[in-house]
Structure 1
Amino acid sequence: MNASTGNGTAGMQTPPVVSKEQWEAARQEMLVKEKAHMRASDKLAAERRRMPWLAVEKSYMFEGPQGRASLVDLFEGRRQLIVYRAFFEPGVFGWPDHACRGCSMVADQVAHVAHLNARDTTLVFASRAPQADIARLKQRMGWRMPWVTITDDFDADFGVGEWHGTNVFIRDGDKVFRTYFVDNRGDEQMGNTWNYLDITPLGRQEAWEDSPPGYPQTPPYKWWNWHDSYEPDAAPDEKWVAVSDAGEAAMREKSAG
């Protein structure tokens, strides 16, 4: 029975019920298409890493938990920055108790930011609400990502003045460049660590990726860690390397079979 409606499948034109062998054959047929979709997604991410950069010439200031912060400050010393414009401010549905329902759903889906940080990437949410209100909201909802207050034309200048959207930046010293922007339905699927890294100019930074020469890359799996155990510049744990190597070998054998 459908728990939400109590109506089950009555009135629905459902697919046929088949044997185990027929179901497995259908799954294998779907798997071929899914792998093609995944490879196309990887190719698109590779093209994204080759998009031109736009220099950010204007200075922007935000309010953060520690006071005034520039766009460069938002990087927190890392090379890449992802900024999601969330609507939490006077005039937004839900104010002052809640942020926009859609933006709140995005916030609920954000993975632990330590994994992004380990790839030299900082994720920041930005709204026009005062810091006191943002702190209260984060505590109530259990959100842990950095969240700053917009104080100037940042939202209007970067296409997020009246709608949610995600901007991506890269830093070369104190020089900042805009590298990507996504909104609407493309923005709704953000939250997963991999989805975020796939829209950055450096990508996942793993050796299998098609990236321009000289881009940072390390073996896949090896850099993964528990979110409370990452250490700056630490070498991959030898035991985890052995485990991941064994897993990769098993997957290759399975694929070959």
Structure 2
Amino acid sequence: MAMPPIVDQDTWRAELAQLRVREKAATRELDAIAAQRRRLPMVELPDYTLVGADGPIRLADVFDGKSQLITYHHMWFPDEEWQCGGCTSFTSSFTRLGFLDNYDARFVIVTPAPIDQALAYAERVGNRMDWYSTADSPFGAAVDAPHDGGFALNVFLRDGDTVYRTWHTTGRGVEQLTYTFALADVLPYGRREEWQDSPEGWPRVPTYSLWLDSPDVARLYGPRADAR
């Protein structure tokens, strides 16, 4: 297996300083993007009804008294034993969301699955987020996450009983919201995925092959997980 070249401390620090210039520029660009996001207009939504663990609930009440809400729209395949590995793996990383209270915000999962199936699956894979069903609601389709579509992430603002949609992303747009890829990207070999620009001889694997699939998540974090 190839390895990075070995150099003296001064050479290493000089190379690191060059990289740091680009890293800081990227940080400032992300700050600028966030500033533009805060200036986006918003769209008023009708009064949707979802279903949670305690039964039907208005979208405005999913905020649980908060003014801001993030929803991750978890893909669902009826009658399948395991659901989307990407969705399952992504959402498994969010185990402590209480810090959002200080930001007057909440983060929940929305899925087209019937609520009893969704909650059973969450228990099976050890997911600690709150789940809501859109099985009988057009809400998912209205926010670019139809029942037969892919995953998505949406953000909303509430003013009394009126809910507004403020931001949406999908695909690699959700990467910035989890630590998993960020940690892999600082490793010497990175994610190892074949599409990435890496030096000659670096280990490469097919894209997605190192991602946790749903059975892996259940094994690591579910009720029968080994103590770690």
TM-score by length of 2: 0.72
Quote the residue 1:69 is aligned against: 57
Q: For residues 35 and 111 of structure 1, do their structure 2 counterparts lie closer, same or farther at Cα, with a shift above 3 Å needed?
A: farther
Cα distance between partner residues in 1 of 2:101 and 2:83: 25
Question: Pick from 112, 115, 118: which aligns with 1:128?
Answer: 112
What is the identity, as a one-letter code, of the residue corresponding to 2:155? V
Q: For residues 88 and 103 of structure 1, do their structure 2 counterparts lie closer, same or farther at Cα, with a shift above 3 Å needed?
A: same
Quote the residue 2:71 is aligned against: 83
Q: Tell me whether 1:24 sits opposite 2:13 in the alignment.
A: yes
Cα distance between partner residues in 1 of 2:38 and 2:175: 21
Query: What does 1:161-240 align with in structure 2 at a 5 Å threshold?
Result: 161=146, 162-191=149-178
- Contact kept, 8 Å, 1:106 with 1:190, in 2: the verdict is no
- Contact kept, 8 Å, 1:54 with 1:178, in 2: the verdict is yes
Quote the residue 1:147 is aligned against: 131
**How many aligned residue pairs are there?**
177
Q: Tell me whether 1:107 sits opposite 2:91 in the alignment.
A: yes
Cα distance between partner residues in 2 of 1:63 and 1:41: 35
Q: Tell me whether 1:60 sits opposite 2:31 in the alignment.
A: no
- Contact kept, 8 Å, 2:95 with 2:129, in 1: the verdict is no
Cα distance between partner residues in 1 of 2:91 and 2:61: 22
Give the C-alpha shift of residue 15 in structure 1: 4.4
Q: CA RMSD in A?
A: 1.8
What residue ranges of structure 2 are gaps of 5+ in the alignment? 180-228
Give the C-alpha shift of residue 153 in structure 1: 1.1
Give the C-alpha shift of residue 100 in structure 1: 0.4
Give the C-alpha shift of residue 168 in structure 1: 0.6
Higher RCO (CA 8 Å, separation ≥ 6 residues):
2
- Contact kept, 8 Å, 1:165 with 1:183, in 2: the verdict is yes
Cα distance between partner residues in 2 of 1:154 and 1:131: 15
Cα distance between partner residues in 2 of 1:26 and 1:111: 37
What residue ranges of structure 1 are gaps of 5+ in the alignment? 1-7, 193-257
- Contact kept, 8 Å, 2:144 with 2:152, in 1: the verdict is yes
Q: Percent identity?
A: 33
TM-score by length of 1: 0.65
Q: What do the CA deviations read for 1:79-131 (whole angstroms, capped 9, x no partner)?
A: 0011111013406xxx23x2201111211222511011221111110112222
Q: Over alpha carbons, which structure has the higher Rg?
A: 1
Cα distance between partner residues in 2 of 1:38 and 1:176: 31
Cα distance between partner residues in 2 of 1:38 and 1:189: 12
Cα distance between partner residues in 2 of 1:148 and 1:79: 18
Q: Tell me whether 1:48 sits opposite 2:37 in the alignment.
A: yes
Runs of 4+ with >3 A deviation: none
Q: What do the CA deviations read for 1:177-213 (whole angstroms, capped 9, x no partner)?
A: 1100011110243235xxxxxxxxxxxxxxxxxxxxx
3-state SS, counterpart of residue 126 of structure 1: strand
Give the C-alpha shift of residue 35 in structure 1: 1.0
